[in-house]
C-alpha cells in the first residue's frame, strides 16, 4: 500500500472551533523541533494562565511548512511517543506562517508590531552566520553582506532582527526579547554578540540602543524530535482518522531551562509545561551540549560509517553503547560542572535509555548534518578542557576522526555519502587535498572556522586523531569502536 493510498478518503485536520489567539510571538524557524517544543509549551502556558501569546511563525527559507499548515488552519498534531503508546494533542497556537523570501517586508512588519513581545528562534547553528570556532559574526558571510547592502529585504536572522528593532526604535516602540532556542553554547550571549556586530556595521547608534534596551536570555532546550516522515503521516492517519501533513512525533522527555530576563518581564507562563527559570543557564547548556549532543554526533558519524540508519539501531550494538558510556565517564563528565539539581551519572544513564527508545527513528544521517557548525561546542571544547587538565582524549579523537571520514564523502562500501553542511565543499576539498591520513587530518585541522589554532596545533590531539583515522580506514568503524 502506498503512503498516499493510506490517506485516501480521510479528511484534513482543521482548527475546528479552537479560537485564534492574539499574536505575541514571532518565531523564526518553524521546523519539527519548534512544533514539538516551543509551540507545545506555549499552548500549555496559555491553557494555564492565558495571555496573548499566539505565534506567527516565519520560515527564512522554504514555503514547505506554510503550505502544509495553511490548509489546516495552522493547527497540527503533536504526538508523544511514550513506551506505553502514542499520545496525541492538537496544537493551535500558530496564528500564521510567513515565508521570508516571498515577502521580507511583511515579515519585518510583523516583527515590528507593538503586540510582539518576543522573537524566538530555532534556526539551527548555521542560522547565526557566525564562525563556529569563535562565535563572532562573519561579516564576509554572503547573507550578511547581502543584508547590510539591502536592509529592507534581509535574508538572515541577524538581518531581520536588526532591521525590525530599528523600525521599533523609529516608532518609539520598546524592543522585543530575542530568545535563541538553538543548541549553541551560551546562546543568549552569542545571539547578542551577533546582533550587535551586525547593528554596529549598519548603524552604531542603533547598536547602542539595542545594547541598552534589548534582552537576549539564554536557554537550554532538549527534546529528541526526528524529522517527520511520510510514514509518520500515514501512521497518524491510521490511528487518528485524519490527515495531518504537519504532524510531529517526539520522545516524552523534555527540558527547557531559561534565563529569566525578558523585556518588561513579558513572557508566557512556560512554567506550566515544566520550564525552569534560572539565573545561570550556562551550566545546563554545557551539560546538555557535551553529554547529549556530543555523544549524539559521535554515534551519528561512527554509526553511519558502521552502516546503522538510526540512533536506536546504533546503541542496540553493545560496542556502541559501551563506547558512549566510557566516553561520558572518562572524557565528558570530568569536564562538566554539574548544574544545580542535576546528577551527571544519572543524567547520562537516562540519555542512553532515551537513545534506545525504539519508537524514535532518528537517522544518523540527520544528526550528521552541519557538523562544521556543531563540532566546536559538542566535542572540541570538551577536548580542549581535557587537554588543559592533562587528560588524554582517545575517544573524543575517535569521534572527530569519524567526522573527518564522513565529510570525506565516501562510506566504507565505497558509496557516496550525501554530506549536508554549509562547508561541505571546503571539507571535501580539504580531505581530497591529502593523500595520506596525516595529510587529510592536517588539512581539515587547518580549517579555522572549526578548529582554533591552539587545538589544531596540540600534538596530543592531532596525533590521536590521525591514529583513529588510520584505524577507521584500515579496520572500519564497527571494529574500531569494538576495540576502543
Ligand atoms: C541532534 C539534536 O540533530 C542533532 O544534531 O543532536 O537535534 C538533538 O536531538 C536535540 O538537541 C535533543 O534535544
CATH value at residue 45: 3.40.50.720
Q: Chain-wide mean pLDDT for the chain? A: 96
C-alpha cell at 342: 542535576
Strand, helix or coil at 259? strand
Could you tell me if 27 and 57 are in contact, meaning their C-beta atoms sit under 8 angstroms apart?
A: yes
Q: How far is the CA of 303 from the centre of ligand 1 (A)?
A: 15
**Number of domains into which the chain is organized:** 2
Whether residue 301 sits in one domain with residue 287? yes
Q: How far is the CA of 42 from the centre of ligand 1 (A)?
A: 21
Q: Is 296 a pocket residue for ligand 1 (Cβ < 6 Å)?
A: yes
Ligand 1, atom 8: closest residue by C-alpha:
224
Region 470-479: mean pLDDT is 98
| 1 pLDDT higher than 60 | no
Q: Given 220, 252, 278, which residue is the final one in a domain?
A: 278
Containing 471, the helix (H) or strand (E) segment is helix 459-475
So what's the pLDDT on residue 3?
55
Q: Is 223 a pocket residue for ligand 1 (Cβ < 6 Å)?
A: yes
Whether residue 330 sits in one domain with residue 225? no
Whether residue 225 sits in one domain with residue 249? yes
DSSP state of 418: -
So what's the pLDDT on residue 5?
60
Q: Is 224 a pocket residue for ligand 1 (Cβ < 6 Å)?
A: yes
Whether residue 98 sits in one domain with residue 208? yes
Q: How far apart are CA 315 and CA 469, in angstroms?
A: 22
Q: How far is the CA of 226 from the centre of ligand 1 (A)?
A: 8
Higher pLDDT among residues 16 and 353, named by residue: 353
Whether residue 240 sits in one domain with residue 351? no
Region 71-75: mean pLDDT is 96
Instruction: Name the CA radius of gyration of the chain, rounded.
Output: 22
Q: Given 278, 311, 342, which residue is the final one in a domain?
A: 278
Q: Is 138 a pocket residue for ligand 1 (Cβ < 6 Å)?
A: no
Q: How far is the CA of 222 from the centre of ligand 1 (A)?
A: 8
Whether residue 337 sits in one domain with residue 239? no
Ligand 1, atom 6: closest residue by C-alpha:
293
CA 72 remoteness from chain centre: 26
Which residue from 32, 292, 376 has its CB within 8 A of the most atoms of ligand 1, so it is best to mutate? 292
So what's the pLDDT on residue 15?
85
So what's the pLDDT on residue 2?
52
DSSP state of 288: I
Whether residue 314 sits in one domain with residue 218? no
So what's the pLDDT on residue 8?
80
Whether residue 305 sits in one domain with residue 274? no
Whether residue 152 sits in one domain with residue 52? yes
Higher pLDDT among residues 484 and 4, named by residue: 484
Q: What is the pLDDT of residues 106-145, one digit of tens each?
A: 999 999 999 999 999 999 999 999 999 999 999 999 999 9
Confidence of residue 301 (pLDDT cuts 50, 70, 90): very high
Whether residue 271 sits in one domain with residue 290? no
Q: How far apart are CA 300 and CA 19, in angstroms?
A: 42
Ligand 1, atom 4: closest residue by C-alpha:
367
Q: How far is the CA of 296 from the centre of ligand 1 (A)?
A: 7
**CATH number of 368's domain:** 1.10.1040.10
Ligand 1, atom 1: closest residue by C-alpha:
367
Q: Given 278, 302, 326, which residue is the final one in a domain?
A: 278
| 95 pLDDT higher than 90 | yes
So what's the pLDDT on residue 19?
79
Ligand 1, atom 10: closest residue by C-alpha:
224
Closest ligand 1 atom number to CA of residue 225: 9
| % of residues, the chain, pLDDT over 70 | 99
Region 150-179: mean pLDDT is 98
Closest CA to 111 of 100, 127, 125, 122: 100
Q: Which residues contact 132 (CB under 8 A, 6 or more apart)?
A: 125, 372, 373, 374, 375, 376, 377, 449, 450
| % of residues, the chain, pLDDT over 90 | 95
Q: What is the pLDDT of residues 304-325, one digit of tens each?
A: 999 999 999 999 999 999 999 9
Could you tell me if 356 and 316 are in contact, meaning their C-beta atoms sit under 8 angstroms apart?
A: yes
Residue corresponding to grid cell 545561570: 280
Which structural domain range is residue 53 located in?
Answer: 2-278
Whether residue 354 sits in one domain with residue 210? no
Whether residue 210 sits in one domain with residue 81? yes
Amino acid at each position: 500500500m502506498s503512503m498516499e493510498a493510506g490517506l485516501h478518503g480521510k479528511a484534513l485536520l482543521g482548527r475546528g472551533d479552537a479560537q485564534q489567539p492574539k499574536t505575541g510571538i514571532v518565531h523564526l524557524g518553524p521546523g519539527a523541533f519548534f512544533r514539538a517544543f516551543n509551540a507545545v509549551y506555549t499552548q500549555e502556558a496559555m491553557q494555564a494562565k492565558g495571555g496573548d501569546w499566539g505565534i506567527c511563525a516565519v520560515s527564512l527559507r522554504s514555503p514547505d511548512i506554510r503550505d502544509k499548515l495553511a490548509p489546516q488552519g495552522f493547527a497540527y498534531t503533536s504526538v508523544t511517543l511514550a513506551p506505553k503508546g502514542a499520545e496525541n494533542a492538537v496544537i493551535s497556537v500558530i496564528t500564521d506562517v510567513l515565508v521570508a523570501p516571498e515577502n521580507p517586508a511583511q515579515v519585518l512588519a510583523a516583527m515590528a508590531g507593538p503586540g510582539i513581545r518576543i522573537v524566538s528562534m530555532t534556526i539551527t547553528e548555521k542560522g547565526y552566520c557566525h564562525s563556529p570556532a569563535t562565535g563572532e559574526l562573519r561579516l564576509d558571510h554572503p547573507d550578511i553582506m547581502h543584508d547590510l547592502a539591502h536592509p529592507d529585504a534581509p535574508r538572515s536572522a541577524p538581518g531581520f532582527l536588526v532591521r525590525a528593532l530599528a523600525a521599533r526604535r523609529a516608532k518609539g516602540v520598546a524592543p522585543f526579547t530575542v530568545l535563541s532556542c538553538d543548541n549553541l553554547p551560551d546562546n543568549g550571549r552569542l545571539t547578542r554578540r551577533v546582533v550587535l556586530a551586525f547593528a554596529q556595521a549598519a548603524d552604531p547608534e542603533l547598536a547602542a540602543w539595542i545594547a541598552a534596551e534589548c534582552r537576549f536570555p539564554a536557554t537550554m532546550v532538549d527534546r529528541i524530535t526526528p524529522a517527520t516522515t511520510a510514514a509518520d503521516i500515514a501512521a497518524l492517519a491510521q490511528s487518528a482518522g485524519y490527515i495531518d501533513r504537519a504532524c510531529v512525533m517526539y520522545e516524552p522527555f523534555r527540558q527547557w531551562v531559561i534565563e529569566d530576563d525578558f523585556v518588561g518581564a513579558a513572557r508566557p507562563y512556560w512554567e506550566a509545561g515544566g520550564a525552569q527559570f534560572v539565573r545561570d543557564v550556562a551550566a545546563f547548556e554545557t551539560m546538555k551540549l557535551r553529554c547529549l549532543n556530543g555523544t549524539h554526533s559521535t554515534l551519528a558519524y561512527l554509526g553511519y560509517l558502521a552502516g546503522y540508519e538510526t540512533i536506536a539501531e546504533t546503541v542496540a550494538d553493545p560496542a556502541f553503547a559501551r563506547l558512549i558510556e566510557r566516553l561520558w565517564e572518562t572524557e565528558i563528565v570530568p569536564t562538566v560542572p554539574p548544574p544545580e539539581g542535576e546528577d551527571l551519572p544519572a543524567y547520562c544513564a537516562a540519555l542512553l535509555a532515551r537513545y534506545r527508545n525504539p519508537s524514535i527513528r532518528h537517522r544518523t544521517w540527520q544528526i550528521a548534518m552541519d557538523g562544521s557548525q556543531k563540532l566546536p561546542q559538542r566535542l572540541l571544547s570538551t577536548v580542549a578542557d581535557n587537554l588543559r587538565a592533562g587528560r588524554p582524549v582517545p575517544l573524543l579523537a575517535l569521534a572527530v576522526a569519524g567526522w573527518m571520514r564522513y565529510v570525506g564523502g565516501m562510506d566504507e562500501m565505497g558509496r557516496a555519502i550525501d554530506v549536508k553542511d554549509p562547508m561541505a565543499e571546503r571539507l571535501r576539498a580539504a580531505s581530497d587535498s591529502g593523500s595520506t591520513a596525516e595529510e587529510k587530518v592536517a588539512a581539515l585541522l587547518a580549517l579555522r572556522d572549526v578548529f582554533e589554532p591552539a587545538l589544531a596545533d596540540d600534538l596530543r590531539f592531532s596525533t590521536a586523531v590521525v591514529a583513529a583515522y588510520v584505524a577507521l580506514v584500515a579496520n572500519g568503524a564497527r571494529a574500531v569502536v569494538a576495540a576502543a
